[in-house]
């Protein structure tokens, strides 16, 4: 096996696949990338048995073959080489020789036969949508995923594929983030899958803003995303996601419209004096006004007042200020609408003129 390639042409696919490789591995071969030359192109594959990333790129002076090379070392060498360097890599027995200008490197390899690859997925549904839209869906909800929760099905993101729409939903039990988009094509059957946290993070890092399209292939146990020369595959979490629609408060008739940036600034200032453990702030609604209050065990207090389009009076509810700020950061509109039912209800936060994004935050007793 051998190939010759410009440094920049190799660096991009390396960056895409090296993030999947865990630094601490149970199997030595999982610290390596599968490097394969076949069909006139170079293909790099990284996996941790849960997520797999495959990136292809054209190269020159090709000789077919495959091996596995230490991922982090190969990436660090290529990244440290000067711009414009031409890289020649050749397999000599159990060693890979990498030459670039006056630099010479010899890397240990492991047989490609030891490298695990995710089996062919049993395709049950396939949809196509703009890459920029999928990235926005996932970025706008990923922050609400649980992290190492015993309810393992919360440590990931739900993709809810409906007849004409795709929803991304994440929750950690204290807050919920939902965003949806309409699909051009109709789906035969509703499907719900849960992508693990690492898969979500890798996929968000892979997707770019642009006018490209991505294909989502839904399997029984896997999700596969095809984007140009990169194929991403993730195993799914085998569990049942909570009925998230039941969490969205119904009949939340007490509403307040507020300027998003003004509210963010007021919350950020009030948060400075909130209790470090609970990070609670109290929202007090009165006609045309919203008051934000925070205090801590040192008897310090912050009070902020902002203008609000609301007829509500004599309603006060406590919330975690971090959750409110995360929700506001994920929204894009100039104005946001806070929807509440009573002093014990959760708060539904959404853009004033757009129902595609919805954020639900559970109340705090202060």
Find the CATH number of the domain harbouring 189.
Answer: 3.10.150.10
Average pLDDT of span 306-316:
95
pLDDT at residue 104 in the model: 98
Q: Which of 200, 222, 191 is nearest to 147 (CA)?
A: 200
User: pLDDT digit string (tens) for 215-228?
Assistant: 999 999 999 999 99
* Domain-located, residue 131: yes
- Does the residue 255 lie in any domain? yes
The dihedrals phi and psi of 100, each to the nearest 5 degrees, come to -150, 105
Residues 100 and 160 in one domain: no
In a domain, 89, yes or no: yes
CA-to-CA distance for 312 and 2, rounded, in angstroms? 72
Q: Specify the higher pLDDT residue, 47 or 122.
A: 47
| 14 in the same domain as 30 | yes
Looking at the structure, tell me whether residues 89 and 22 fall in a common domain: yes
Q: How many Å apart are CA 125 and CA 258, to the nearest integer?
A: 41
Same domain, 215 and 323: no
Same domain, yes or no: 264 and 214: no
Burial of 204 (0-12, 13-18, 19+ CB in 10 A): middle
Residue 353: per-residue pLDDT: 85
Beta bridge partner(s), residue 65: 37
Domain hosting residue 7, numbered range: 2-114
Burial letters for 239-254: b for 16+ Cβ neighbours within 10 Å, e otherwise?
eebbebeebebeebeb
Provide the pLDDT for residue 180.
Answer: 97
Distance of CA 274 to the CA centre of its chain: 29
Same domain, 183 and 294: no
**Are residues 87 and 134 both part of a single domain?**
no
Q: Is 326 contained in some domain?
A: yes
* 279 belongs to a structural domain: yes
3-state secondary structure 267-306: HHHHHCCCCCCCCEEEEEEECCEEEEEEECCCCCEEEEEE
Residues 270 and 188 both lie in one domain: no
Q: How large is the average pLDDT for residues 54-63?
A: 96
3-class DSSP assignment, residue 332 = coil
Residue 366 lies in a domain: no
Structure tokens at 82: 């000067």
Give the separation between CA 279 and CA 145, rounded to whole angstroms: 19
pLDDT level of residue 117 (50, 70, 90 thresholds):
confident
Which pLDDT score, from 0 to 100, does residue 120 have?
79
Among residues 207, 223, 245, the one where a domain terminates is 245
For the chain, the average pLDDT equals 95
- Number of domains, the chain: 3
Angle at 64 between CA 106 and CA 38, to 5 degrees: 120
Closest CA to 283 of 363, 354, 350: 363
Whether 85 and 148 map to the same domain: the answer is: no
pLDDT over threshold 80, residue 210: no
Same domain, 221 and 255: no
Reduced to 3 states (helix: H, G, I; strand: E, B; else coil), residue 82 is coil
Domain boundary residue, one of 226, 245, 264? 245
Longest Cα pair distance anywhere in the chain, in angstroms?
Answer: 79
User: For residues 243 and 137, what is the distance between their CA atoms, to the nearest angstrom?
Assistant: 19
Domain boundary among 245, 262, 294: 245
Predicted pLDDT at 141: 98
277: in domain: yes
Is residue 43 assigned to a domain? yes
- Reported as a pLDDT band with limits 50, 70 and 90, residue 213 is very high
Q: Given pLDDT bands bounded at 50, 70 and 90, which one contains residue 26?
A: confident
Q: What is the pLDDT of residue 25?
A: 79
pLDDT at 366 over 80: no
In tens, the pLDDT along 158-182 reads 999 999 999 999 999 999 999 999 9
State the pLDDT at residue 318. Answer: 97
Instruction: Identify whether residues 68 and 101 lie together within a single domain.
Output: yes
Examine the domain organization and report whether 75 and 132 are in the same domain. no
């Amino acid at each position: 096996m051998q190939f010759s390639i410009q440094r920049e042409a190799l660096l991009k696919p390396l960056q895409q696949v090296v993030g999947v490789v865990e630094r601490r591995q149970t199997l030595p071969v999982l610290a390596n990338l599968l490097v394969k030359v076949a069909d006139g192109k170079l293909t790099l594959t990284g996996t941790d048995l849960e997520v797999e990333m495959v990136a292809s790129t054209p190269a020159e002076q090709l000789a077919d073959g495959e091996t596995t090379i230490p991922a982090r070392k190969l990436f660090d060498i290529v990244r440290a080489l000067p711009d414009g360097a031409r890289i020649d890599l050749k397999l000599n027995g159990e060693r890979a020789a990498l030459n670039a200008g006056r630099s010479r490197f010899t890397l240990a390899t492991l047989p490609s036969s030891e490298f695990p690859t995710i089996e062919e997925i049993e395709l049950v549904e396939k949809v196509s949508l703009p890459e920029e839209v999928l990235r926005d869906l996932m970025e706008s909800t990923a922050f609400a995923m649980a992290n190492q929760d015993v309810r393992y099905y919360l440590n990931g993101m739900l993709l809810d594929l409906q007849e004409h729409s795709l929803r991304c939903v994440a929750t950690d039990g204290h807050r919920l983030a939902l965003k949806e988009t309409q699909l051009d094509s109709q789906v035969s059957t509703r499907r719900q899958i849960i992508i693990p946290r690492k898969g979500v993070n890798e996929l968000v890092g892979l997707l770019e803003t642009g006018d490209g399209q991505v294909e989502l292939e839904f399997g029984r146990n896997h999700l596969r995303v095809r984007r140009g020369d990169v194929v991403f595959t993730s195993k799914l979490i085998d569990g049942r996601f909570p009925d998230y629609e039941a969490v969205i408060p119904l009949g939340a008739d007490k509403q307040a419209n507020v300027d998003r940036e003004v509210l963010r600034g007021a919350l950020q200032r009030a948060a400075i004096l909130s209790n470090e453990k609970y990070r609670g702030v109290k929202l007090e609604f009165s006609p045309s006004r919203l008051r934000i209050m925070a205090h801590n065990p040192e008897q310090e207090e912050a009070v902020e007042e902002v203008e609000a389009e609301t007829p509500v009076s004599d309603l006060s509810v406590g919330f975690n200020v971090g959750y409110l700020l995360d929700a506001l950061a994920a929204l894009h509109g100039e104005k946001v609408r806070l929807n509440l039912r009573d002093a014990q209800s959760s708060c539904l936060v959404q853009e004033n003129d757009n129902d595609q994004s919805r954020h639900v935050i559970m109340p705090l007793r202060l």
